[in-house]
Amino acid sequence: MSIEEKLMNSNGILQYENEIILQLYHEDGLLILARGLGLERIFCEMMKLYCAEHNLVFILGCTDAEQNYFTEQLISDGIDPPPRVITADISIQERKELYIQGGLFFVTARILTVDLLTNRIPIDLITGLLVYRAHRITDSSSESFIVRLYRDKNKTGFIKGFSDSSLDFTRGYNQLDCVMKNLFLRHAFLYPRFQVTVRSTFEHCPPDVIELQVPLTLLMTDIQVSLMELISACLQELRSSTTSIDHDLLTVDQSILNSFDRLIRLQLQPIWNQVSIRTKQLINDIKTLRLFVLHLTQYDCVTFYNAVQAIFINEKLYGSRGKNIHSSQGSTGSWLYLPAAERLLMASKCRVFGEVAKKQVQQVKDDEEPVAKLEENPKLKLVSDVLQEIRENEDNKLLGPPVTLIVCAEDRTCSQLKQYLLLGGRIMLERLLEQTLNASTVNETSKESETKQTTEKKKKTTRTITDTNEEISNNSGNIDKKPDIEGIQCGYVIEDDDGSTSPSTTIVYPFSGNIDNHFILGKILLKYHPRFIILYDASLTFVRQLEVFKATNPEHPLRIYFLLYGKSIEEQRYLLSVKKEKEAFENLVREKASMVIPEEREGRDEYNPLLSRDATPANQQAYGAGATSTIDQSDTRRGGIMHMTTISINRPKVIVDMREFRSELPSLIWKRGIDIEPVTLEVGDYILTPEICIERKSVSDLIGSLNNGRLYQQALQMTRFYKKPMLLIEFDQKQAFHLANKQRYNSSSEFSSHDITSKLALLTMHFPKLKILWCPSPHTSAELFEDLKRDREEPDTKSAMLVTAESDLLDDDERYNTVAQDFLIRMPGVTFKNYKLIMNNVENLRVLSQLSENQLTTIMGNSKQASLLYNFIHKQKGDLVLDIKSKATSNSTWKKRR
């Protein structure tokens, strides 16, 4: 059966999906789809086409949640055998047998890299690679390394990339071409929302959309204006405080987008150690104000007031007074002293307490208790009205009880909306205010009785989606009429039956917070088929998901209520996100039209320059390939008259620990023409020569190893079994090449034993043979490895594997008891220069304690060090304490005189 016939027999495939699948099946390429248009649906269909035992296909780039989703979808569609997941729990022999059987495999990048390097996979039998989330591919990523290993030995298999993040391809220089180059692809398939086929597909059967714009209250408008003034003031000060940030990014329109914080961090990370405290504080202030903008429309007035008040109280208790936003010194929350901040606090307070908040406390009569205003969010009231309209819909008599899906931004918003629908707005806000004013005296019994009275009046019941089966079985006898909600995490379900209208079921679920929430929302749509959907918060991705759902189910009645605050930042943010994606695709279309792609880009020819592993410059490389390649040294362009030399085919080798393949360094080493042999090492991470052993540490791993003492044990083992042990401290190339030192910001000039630099100093003092290598990026580390291996002996794999923590392979320095040796080194007067003299002349520690001071001087060759050691062994504790105090007193006296 041809691919066209298979797609014709498959149900639910849309016109543009069919077009994309046919293009990707017949030729390799990179698919960039607009977010929400069903990339997971297309990926599932591609997996179905290759899910057969005569194929051997590996899937890269998927998270655990995505693996579970795709596997469940293929099993539900009757695909046999389903994709297999390769983990570290599967033995090497079992993996070999599975690879020979064929099929689809989800495999981690580390396991697949090791299996490709050790030839456990028949590379020539691999059918192809499917790369999900291709926008994350870089030249040093693990997925890129796998693609290079695969294309180097397999010239016929396919490579197909999938992505739904067009914005990531517009950040950086020539990002689209770089990704296609790393994946060895020549074709890019762009499918934005305004593409002809996509637009015609959705115009054929559009959903019934009702857009409801509700105006902000006067106080909410005042708060919004104040917040924008504060953000604008902070941005203006940020532009004057640093030149490292693109000024086009420091605008009010950009600041309301969700990606603003991430873009600022990306530009400042390489120089973060050079950024002033004032600039860092301004960035934190903008982040706080952006959170207030979100909380204004998502949360109730009491929660918002608590958040604003907490900032002011914190500044009052811990902040420095008298500084304004134009101060050159770093202060905490300088925007708090602007007039707009005062209006922000007053308007937030008035939403809770009303106009009484503006009056003095003395003006209020003793017998008159102020009544809190407790302003409700207009959108919450609108949701209640929409649900009432849904219950009174005439179609319910013909189609049955309606199922309504309410989609919010966060789980906290869902919880608040559930409480509003069950208790009513006034009761909910009064409880929140009571908890705020006097949380310790809340009467739990009265709350429970009030809840029962309210729920009986409205005849509503609620439960979370994660309730157990026992709780569900205790409900009334309408279980058969309720939807099956098992297997879906988070969210809430509200069943309403007030007797006057038809019973309805409402599902409240967030579209953010979890990485797989859009998958779960798709499951809810397919499982429950809701007839009414209320978009409480705007989500471009979910709006497109609803369009796909309606297009695949044209006969299903679907009405969407789109709730927005008119003339608000929420509306502006949604429109800007649509505009940004459109501009991104327009830039990609222009870049694709002007892109020059060489014919050898796919790497299918025998000698491809993209697969070259020679890191030398092009004018110094050999012309040709193989052992017969020669360089004419008499070439005048090379500036020499040397004789013709022959290139050796013997490549240098580095032994790499299995766990190191999570990092970028092994792929960069391989690119520089150094062969990699993955084994399990107990001592060290990289064995460059029989003498050089390197332990690689990232900055975070270095801090953790120093704190828990693991690095000491690793250094001890390396110095014991290798003559040239080294510690490689590797920084991220996107971050500052700077090890933060807390003592720099400490007023005390004394060093602390808990400081990282102090611990590193102690480590180097205790292990003088240990060399520390500082590298700003993995690229520099790979270059350094190449220099360290030049003209040196190659390491032996068997010997490296035999070296363990309990190994008996000892050199000439390891003829002594290591425990006693470590104890001896820690004694006063004993150094790394004289400890061997003591061990060669003294049998054990007992004999050492019986020697006189003159005998120790003769052995150690230094009377002062011998005196320190003798006094440490023979003097009493009190005498030692007095000596230490006298020395400290004399040192302080000498400092005062100076």
Give the model confidence (pLDDT) of 46-100 as tens digits.
998 888 778 899 999 998 888 988 998 888 888 888 889 998 888 889 999 999 8
Least confident span in 57-66, 491-500, 502-511, 632-641: 632-641
Amino acid at 800: A
- pLDDT surpassing 50 at residue 759: yes
Q: Which runs of consecutive H residues, i.e. helices, occur in 465-534?
A: 469-473, 517-528
- DSSP letters, 550-562, are HHH-TTS--EEEE
pLDDT at 688: 93
Q: What confidence tens digit (pLDDT) does each residue in 450-462 have? A: 445 444 444 444 4
pLDDT at 324: 42
pLDDT at 397 over 80: no
Phi/psi at 531 (5° precision) = -90, -20
Which pLDDT score, from 0 to 100, does residue 503 have? 67
Q: Which percentage of the chain shows pLDDT scores above 90? A: 25
The β-bridge partners of 33 are 191
Lowest mean pLDDT among 148-162, 470-484, 539-553, 855-869: 470-484
State the CB neighbour count (10 A cutoff) for residue 355.
9
- Asked if residue 532 has pLDDT above 70, the reply is yes
- Burial (CB < 10 A; 0-12, 13-18, 19+), residue 699, is middle
Statement: residue 832 has pLDDT above 50: yes
What was the pLDDT predicted at 443? 41
Q: Please check the confidence at residue 882 and state whether its pLDDT lies above 90.
A: no
Q: 848 pLDDT band (50/70/90 cuts)?
A: confident
CATH superfamily of 3-186: P-loop containing nucleotide triphosphate hydrolases (3.40.50.300)
3-state SS track over 297-358? HHCCHHHHHHHHHHHHHHHHHHCCCCCCCCCCCCCCCHHHHCHHHHHHHHHHHHHHHHHHHH
Residues 392-399, mean pLDDT to the nearest whole number: 79
Contact 133, 144 (CB under 8 A): no
Tokens of 648: 């050796």
Note the pLDDT of residue 694.
94
CATH number of 818-892: 1.10.150.20
Q: How high is the pLDDT of residue 161? A: 94
- d(C-alpha 222, C-alpha 229), whole Å: 11
Answer whether 757's CB lies under 8 Å from 743's CB: yes
In terms of pLDDT, which residue wins out, 364 or 192?
192
Q: Identify the residue with better confidence: 338 or 612.
A: 338
Measure CA 500 to chain center.
50
Tens-digit pLDDT profile for residues 343-391: 999 999 999 888 755 554 344 344 444 556 788 889 989 998 998 888 8
Mean pLDDT computed over 123-128: 91
CATH code of domain 653-738+756-806: 3.40.50.10130
Which residues, at least 6 apart from 819, have a Cβ–Cβ distance to it below 8 Å? none
3 state SS of 666: helix
Class of 375-439+490-595 per CATH? alpha beta
Phi, psi of 376 (to 5 degrees): -80, 150
Residue 781 pLDDT grade (very low, low, confident, very high; cuts 50, 70, 90): very high
| Cβ count within 10 A of residue 785 | 24
